[in-house]
Structure 1
Amino acid sequence: MIPVTTFENRTVALFGLGGSGLVTAHALKLGGANVVCFDDDAGRVDRAAGEGLQAQDLRTLDWSGVAALVLAPGVPLTHPVPHWSVDLARDAGVEIIGDVELFCRERRKLCPAAPLIAITGTNGKSTTTALTAHLLRETGYDVQVGGNIGTPVLELEPPQPGRHYVVECSSYQIDLAPTLDPTVGIHMNLSPDHLDRHGTMENYAAIKERLVAAAKVAIVGVDDRLSSDIADRLELARKPVCRIAGERELTNGLYARHGRLIEAHDGSQVEVARLGGIDSLRGDHNGQNAAAAFATLRALEIPAAKIAAALKTFPGLQHRMEVVAKRGRVLFINDSKATNADAAARALASFDRIYWIAGGRAKAGGISSLDEYFPKIAKTFLVGEAAEDFAKTLDGRVPYKISGTLPQAVRDAASEAAEDEAQEIAILLSPACASFDQYRNFELRGAAFVDAVRALPDAGNTQEVA
């Protein structure tokens, strides 16, 4: 854990006692702050009190002596309406920050030379975070990985010379980190997501842009217009920027094409790595992920040959295009982290013959934007709340069955795929939906998929890959 000493001997209010919030409260207390914490969930408040934290309804607090409100990233800062704790802090003139901001302040105080790689984007940021960390470790560096990817950033080891931090940042976390200053900032892409929390696409994009705008080196995906505009603005501001792509050729930057990673300078092109045959990096979207990670290590002056060798050993990210088993010609792919249509598109683009498991709690737009991939889909197996609506989109265009539950969908897909004579078949869980109708999170949904695959009849002929 990183003790947060920048608020030593001062009072800090904290709202939100989920996983990262609880860690943040302990980190502040360990650093000498007087922490007063609260949550709308009484059970979380009781747990905090049981762990020795001062739990008190912040509505009863004297805000005149409060140095900051630390807000958990899941708590609304602006939209649809600010949380009541935010209103109290603003009325008192108290700054509102989050755990990533606390980390940045502590890093600047203890060891500003410790490299910080911060990664954001609508899709691909978790894979890019995991891949970047893997490449750094494989090339001999001390690496700490956390943030939105799972481990709260303040639960990492304290900054010290030579220690590299690879931190995934959600838009919520960036919004609460006004002095976020990465050594290398990576922005992957933009598509509509979290608009209930940011109001408009323009607001959402502006928050993402903050991460790369303050970086010493910015790496920006340019496969979508809004992100390409970010790269252009950074260049006009004379910021060091490297463009990356997985779906287009670049004259300057790093891009993936036909299983090759190409570095381009003023029209000259040099192959720097091969991605073909690396199952964990299959697909154009993973080409962009690989380009981002490769460009990051090059910005840190790590030799290209070492990076290329390390790419080959990347095991992939759990629940994201994860090959969990193989039965003859059939691959079972766990892409549970694809919680919107844009993320599912990346998986659908990666295979030629697909038995698609989709559904859950739908997001705006449904799956109508995925029509270009419908010819690849042999049949769709629908689950959860979205099943009826998705069936209307697919009707007359893609064969489908409403399986209802994920285990049933796996059984249905496996049964029909067994009769298919295609050279390679993917049974693909890529839901294009949130999990909250049937599972508490996408991780539990992915685990249920893996369990259902293992429970298939004749499982002895199934080779488990993950």
Structure 2
Amino acid sequence: MIKLDFAKNKCYAVMGLGISGRLAARALAKAGANVLAWDDIDNARNQVLGIKGVQLENLNFHGLDKVHALILSPGIPHTYPKPHPVAAEAKRRGLPIIGDIELLLRALPNRKNIIITGTNGKSTTTALISHLLTSNGLRVEVGGNLGRPVLNFNDPGRDGILVLELSSYQLELTPSIAPTIAVWLNISIDHIERHGNLAGYVAAKQRIFANQCSDNIAIVVVDDEQSSIVANTLRQNGNNLIEVSNKRPILGGIYVDQGFLIDARSSQPNKIFDLKSVQSLPGAHNEQNAAAATAACLALGFRKEVIARTITSFLGLAHRLELVAVYDNVTYVNDSKATNAIATAQALATYNPIYWIVGGRAKEGGIERLTPWLNRIKRAYLIGESAKNFLRQIGNNCPTVLSYTLENATWQAHAEAQEDNILGATVLLSPAAASFDQFPNFEVRGEQFKALVRALTYNYSKKY
């Protein structure tokens, strides 16, 4: 656990007692702080009973009088659409509203850190950067929006590196963020219910660059309009900028050309390696992720030969184009982490033909933007509360069936794919929707899919 020595003899309020909130309360109390904790859910409050130095206090009514700062769960709104009453009271009093990432950075102010954000690809890029660093002997602590809560880290030391995936929610609660290397992957409409509109979402994401100095590096993938605007702003502001693209050559940057990763930071562009040889990174979107991760490691001083050697051993990320099984001519892929249409578009562009399992709790716009890829779909199996709405959006663009549950859909897709027996066919779970209508999270959804597939392909999978 990270030592929060700066908090000794101060009073902190912790609102929201999920995993990160409970750890914040525990770490602050262990450091000698007086901690007032609350969650509007009874079961969450019970999780901190008995922790020495943590006092349950209904912050909705009282408890902020002597507080130094409010530690707020990222999921609790503090601006749009309406601030939670505790956040509103903290603002009225002029109290800092921060999150667990801010506590980490205050505790370890002199540690190198690579921070990754974007709408899609964050987790794969974060995991890949961590793999490249650890495989070459560096001490790394990786987490944030991915993996371990940050206050469960160990101090990596002055020669180590913090690798953090941060959402827009987390960035808003981290005022002192100043990444050694900031990685911006892409922007598309997401979390509008929290930020109000695209401009609000982009502004929250741009906090990643707010405190960078001349020694820091900003890496921006410029393959969408908003990201290009962000890169232009950084350039005009004099930031140390490396642009990345998997769509076009970037003089002075890193780009992908016919599957080859190119380093064009000098006057003579040089091939780094062939991304097509990395089986765990299929699809054009993973070219983008790999290019951004490579740019980060090059910025740290890694030689391209070292990166090329190490990247081939990356195993990929669970629930993101994760190969589950190959049974006869059919491949089974778990892409449960695709919770919006942009992420699913990347999956649909990777495989053909596809037996597509789709649906859940729809995001804004649903799957309207996926029409250009529906000619790849042999049949779509619609699940979750969005099933009928997605059926209407698909229309006559591909065959469909209302499966409603993941279990039904997996059985149906398996049976039809095996009956058709098309070489290169893929049964793909890529929901383009959140999981919360039927599952606690996308991980549980993905694990159920994998268990179903393994049961259906058991006899063969023992050999595979």
Residues 356 and 381 in structure 2, CA contact (< 8 A), matched pair in contact too: yes
SS at match of 2:20: helix
* TM-score calculated relative to the size of structure 2: 0.96
Matches of 1:211 and 1:200 in 2, distance apart? 19
Are positions 1:166 and 2:167 aligned together? no
Matches of 1:51 and 1:336 in 2, distance apart? 36
Matches of 1:224 and 1:463 in 2, distance apart? 43
| Deviation of the 1:366 alpha carbon | 0.9
Q: Which runs of 5+ in 1 are unaligned?
A: none
Residues 267, 386 of structure 1: alpha-carbon distance in 2 compared, 3 angstrom cutoff: farther
Matches of 2:183 and 2:64 in 1, distance apart? 37
Say which is worse superposed, 65-74 or 391-400, in terms of deviation: 391-400
Match of 2:98 in 1: 97
Counting only pairs closer than 5 Å after superposition, residues 132-281 of structure 1 correspond to structure 2 as 132-215=129-212, 216-265=216-265, 268-281=268-281
Counting only pairs closer than 5 Å after superposition, residues 57-456 of structure 1 correspond to structure 2 as 57-108=58-109, 112=110, 114-215=111-212, 216-265=216-265, 268-456=268-456
| Deviation of the 1:407 alpha carbon | 1.4
Residues 129 and 167 in structure 1, CA contact (< 8 A), matched pair in contact too: yes
| Deviation of the 1:50 alpha carbon | 3.2
Computed over aligned residues only, the root mean square deviation of the Cα atoms, in angstroms, reads 1.6
Matches of 2:65 and 2:394 in 1, distance apart? 58
Residues 11 and 35 in structure 1, CA contact (< 8 A), matched pair in contact too: yes
| Deviation of the 1:295 alpha carbon | 0.6
Say which is worse superposed, 234-243 or 206-215, in terms of deviation: 206-215
| Deviation of the 1:43 alpha carbon | 1.4
Residues 255 and 287 in structure 1, CA contact (< 8 A), matched pair in contact too: no
SS at match of 1:145: strand
Query: Which string of whole-angstrom CA distances, capped at 9 and with x for unpartnered residues, describes residues 369-423 of structure 1?
Result: 0111111111111111111111112221101111121111111111111133543
Give, as a single letter, the amino acid of the residue that structure 2 aligns with 1:251: L
Q: Percent identity?
A: 43
Q: Which runs of 5+ in 2 are unaligned?
A: none
SS at match of 1:440: coil
Matches of 1:463 and 1:369 in 2, distance apart? 39
Residues 320 and 338 in structure 1, CA contact (< 8 A), matched pair in contact too: yes
Matches of 2:270 and 2:328 in 1, distance apart? 37
| Deviation of the 1:95 alpha carbon | 1.1
SS at match of 2:154: coil
| Deviation of the 1:268 alpha carbon | 4.4
Match of 1:460 in 2: 459
Matches of 1:450 and 1:277 in 2, distance apart? 25
Matches of 2:193 and 2:370 in 1, distance apart? 22
Give, as a single letter, the amino acid of the residue that structure 2 aligns with 1:242: I
Residues 25 and 37 in structure 1, CA contact (< 8 A), matched pair in contact too: yes
Residues 220, 213 of structure 1: alpha-carbon distance in 2 compared, 3 angstrom cutoff: farther
Matches of 1:430 and 1:258 in 2, distance apart? 26
Matches of 1:433 and 1:84 in 2, distance apart? 30
Give, as a single letter, the amino acid of the residue that structure 1 aligns with 2:33: A
Matches of 2:349 and 2:200 in 1, distance apart? 29
| Deviation of the 1:159 alpha carbon | 4.6
Residues 186 and 212 in structure 1, CA contact (< 8 A), matched pair in contact too: no
Give, as a single letter, the amino acid of the residue that structure 1 aligns with 2:98: I
| Deviation of the 1:437 alpha carbon | 1.1
SS at match of 1:276: helix
Residues 78 and 88 in structure 2, CA contact (< 8 A), matched pair in contact too: no
Give, as a single letter, the amino acid of the residue that structure 2 aligns with 1:459: Y
Matches of 1:172 and 1:408 in 2, distance apart? 35
Match of 2:29 in 1: 29
